[in-house]
Amino acid sequence: MLPLNSWRMLSESRALLHPNRLMTNRQCVYKAVTYSAQCMSTSVPKKDTWQSHTNFKALGKERKLFYYTDPVSSFRNYCTGQSKLSCWNCNQPLHTTPVFFCKSCKALQPPEEGTSFFKILDCDYTFTLDTQKLQKSYLRLQRSLHPDNFSQKSVKEQKYSEIQSALVNKAYKTLLKPLSRGLYMLELEGMRIEEGTDSAADSEFLMELMEINEALDEAQTPEAANKIGQDTKGKLADLTKAIDAALLKGELQAAKALLAQMKYYANIEEKVKEKLSEFM
122: domain CATH number is 1.10.287.110
Residue 178's pLDDT band, with cuts at 50, 70 and 90, is very high
pTM > 0.75: yes or no: no
**206-225-268-176 Cα dihedral, nearest 10 degrees:** -150
Mean pLDDT of 122-130: 94
Residues 47 and 113 in one domain: yes
Residues 36 and 164 in one domain: yes
* Residue 256 domain flag: yes
Residues 158 and 258 in one domain: no
Lowest-confidence pick of 104-113, 133-142, 196-205: 196-205
Tens digits of residue pLDDT in 10-30: 444 444 434 344 333 333 333
In this prediction, residue 190 carries a pLDDT of 87
Sign of the four-CA dihedral 250, 256, 261, 263: positive
In this prediction, residue 138 carries a pLDDT of 98
**Number of structural domains in the chain:** 2
- Residue 35, strand partner residues: 38
- Residue 85, strand partner residues: 94
Distance, CA of 117 to CA of 46 (rounded, Å): 20
Residues 87 and 179 in one domain: yes
Residues 129 and 36 in one domain: yes
Residue ending a domain, among 132, 165, 188, is: 188
DSSP 8-state symbol, 111: P
Distance, CA of 171 to CA of 142 (rounded, Å): 12
pLDDT at 108 over 80: yes
Total residue count of the chain as it appears in this document: 280
- Residue 93, strand partner residues: 86
Residues 31 and 128 in one domain: yes
Mean pLDDT of 190-211: 75
Quickly list H helices, 87-154: 117-120, 131-145
In this prediction, residue 195 carries a pLDDT of 52
Tens digits of residue pLDDT in 131-176: 999 999 999 999 999 999 999 999 999 999 999 999 999 999 999 9
The H or E element containing residue 68 is strand 66-69
* Beta strand 93-94 pairing with 34-35: unpaired
Distance, CA of 152 to CA of 268 (rounded, Å): 48
Domain containing residue 123: 26-188
Residue ending a domain, among 188, 208, 240, is: 188
45-59, 163-177, 186-200 — most confident range: 163-177
pLDDT at 65 over 50: no
pLDDT at 213 over 60: yes
In this prediction, residue 80 carries a pLDDT of 36
